[in-house]
Amino acid sequence: MTEAPTSSPTVVIGVLALQGAYEAHARTLRELGAEPRLVRTPDQLEGLDGLIMPGGESTTMLKFLERNGFFDLLKSFVQETPTFGTCAGAILLATDVENPPQRSLGVLPMTVERNAYGRQIDSAILESQTELPGGPLEMVFIRAPRIRSTGPEVETLASRDGSPTLVRYGHLMAATFHPELSGDTRVHQFFLETVRRHKQAQATRDSA
């Protein structure tokens, strides 16, 4: 397990708690020294340094988000604030969704195919080299989507059979697997580093 750097300032990370293993994400964040907050209503986006959108069923998540103006507020939020989408969360971030097409936040330039690897029985745990330090990364796929293509500015950090499984685009990240279900905390640590850099850059701009 990666330990939280003792000198790092605490950041507040929301975890969208509509579906999925949001408690596992919160537990990993806490382990790394961040302060997790479960987010179930639009007003709970206030004061967050970053947000994780977990897996689940993306169409069901959309139904929750389409109440009380949550979807529109979330779209504005993720355009400005570091956000990490895993599995269904990655689908929601994508600019294009296939199999079948559905509405999304449309902020991360990629085309995502839903349930691309088959049904839940076809789920898998694989290990792969990544751009993260520390050797091969365990990736847990559960009814996983496939990233079919990405925009030129999207960085691929990990892949499966030639398809990206972990990507970064500025302050946004997406994974087609479930890092919260692995004993490896490096993906969450990488996201926290992104959040801290973004927060520091924002503070520098505000003080200029």
User: Could you say which DSSP state residue 15 is in?
Assistant: E
For residues 48 and 32, give the distance between their C-alpha atoms in angstroms, rounded to a whole number: 17
Tokens 């579906």 correspond to what residue? 19
Neighbours of 169 (CB within 10 A): 17
Residue 25: active-site member: no
> Tokens for 58?
């993306």
Which entry of 25, 113, 171, 180 is annotated as an active-site residue? 180
Residue 171: active-site member: no
Which entry of 87, 113, 171, 198 is annotated as an active-site residue? 87
Which entry of 171, 178, 188, 198 is annotated as an active-site residue? 178
Residue 193: active-site member: no
Closest CA to 88 of 175, 165, 179, 154: 175
> Tokens for 101?
């097409």
Positions marked active-site: 87, 178, 180
